[in-house]
């Protein structure tokens, strides 16, 4: 699978240490042979205007069966059906509380409390500890509107359970959108999210989970 990043990529960096992910500068997308990849990841800082200028390339690949993971705040419609980001007004943890909604293989078994709060304090912490010393909003502090009619809302935020993680079919492929920091950063040992990055990559690679 491929990950397009917002920086030049040295030859030594093009493969991750497990040989699973091919990294490339986003601005190489135009020349990339996407047909060799079953999955593509876009990070939170991706240049959405550039992506929109190459919408046909990306969209045709998804329609042919590719799986696209979009992290961040979509504001430019660079692919058909892409939901739009909206700012969330919040004052406490209840306003950014995460709730599991519809099922999806990537989030199977993930307790949303394990990705809700973070702390720089070393050691293992109970959820009650994190409620006292943790900081929320890293996973998400926004929501999405304009979902395609057939989209699945996977995770909701706040009392209204507004969509944060969504998935929808596009032709023979799938678009997965996470309105927050990159999903691979939430792989946390000792929690239900341990090994999550492997699960994400396996799904994008087309493996059965």
Residue spans of the domains in the chain: they are 2-204
Across the chain, the runs of DSSP E, i.e. the strands, are 2-5, 22-25, 39-42, 67-71, 84-87, 98-100, 117-118, 135-136, 142-145, 152-157, 162-170, 173-178
2-204 topology per CATH? Rossmann fold (3.40.50)
Over its length of 209 residues, how does the chain's per-residue pLDDT go in tens digits?
Answer: 999 999 999 999 999 877 889 999 999 999 999 999 999 999 999 999 999 999 999 999 999 999 999 999 999 999 999 999 999 988 888 899 999 999 999 999 999 999 997 776 676 777 776 776 667 778 999 999 999 999 999 999 999 999 999 999 999 999 999 999 999 999 988 899 999 999 999 999 986 54
Q: pTM of this prediction? A: 0.93
Find, among 184, 178, 190, 186, the residue nearest to 202 by Cα: 184
Residues 6+ apart with CB under 8 A from 74: 48, 82, 83, 84, 85, 144, 177, 179
- Residue 134 sits at the vertex; the CA angle it makes with 133 and 139, to the nearest 5 degrees, is 175
d(CA 169, CA 149): 10
pLDDT at 207: 67
Joined together, the tokens standing for residue 79 give 């692919």
Q: How far is CA 59 from CA 146, 161, 189, in A?
A: 18, 29, 35
Return the structure tokens found at 178.
Answer: 């996470």
Q: Is 6 exposed, middle or buried (0-12, 13-18, 19+ CB in 10 A)?
A: middle
Upper half-sphere CA count for residue 143 (Cβ side, 13 Å): 22
Q: What is the DSSP letter of 15?
A: B
Of the CA atoms within 13 Å of residue 40, those in its CB half-sphere come to: 27
């Amino acid at each position: 699978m491929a990950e397009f990043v917002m920086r030049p990529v040295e030859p030594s960096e093009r493969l991750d240490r497990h040989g699973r992910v091919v990294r490339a500068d986003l601005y190489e997308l135009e020349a990339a042979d996407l047909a060799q990849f079953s999955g593509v990841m876009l990070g939170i800082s991706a240049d959405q205007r550039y992506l929109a200028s190459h919408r046909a390339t990306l969209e045709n690949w998804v329609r042919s069966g590719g799986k696209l993971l979009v992290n961040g705040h979509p504001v430019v419609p660079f692919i058909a059906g892409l939901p739009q980001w909206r700012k969330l007004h919040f004052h406490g943890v209840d306003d950014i509380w995460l709730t599991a909604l519809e099922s999806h293989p990537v989030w199977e078994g993930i307790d949303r409390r394990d990705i809700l709060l973070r702390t720089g304090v070393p050691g293992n912490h109970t959820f009650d500890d994190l409620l006292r010393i943790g900081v929320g909003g890293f996973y998400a502090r926004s929501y999405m509107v304009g979902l395609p009619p057939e989209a699945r809302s996977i995770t909701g935020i706040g009392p209204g359970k507004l969509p944060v993680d969504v998935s929808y079919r596009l032709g023979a492929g799938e678009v997965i959108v996470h309105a927050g920091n990159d999903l691979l950063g939430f792989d946390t040992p000792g929690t239900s999210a341990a090994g999550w990055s492997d699960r994400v990559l396996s799904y994008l690679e087309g493996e059965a989970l």
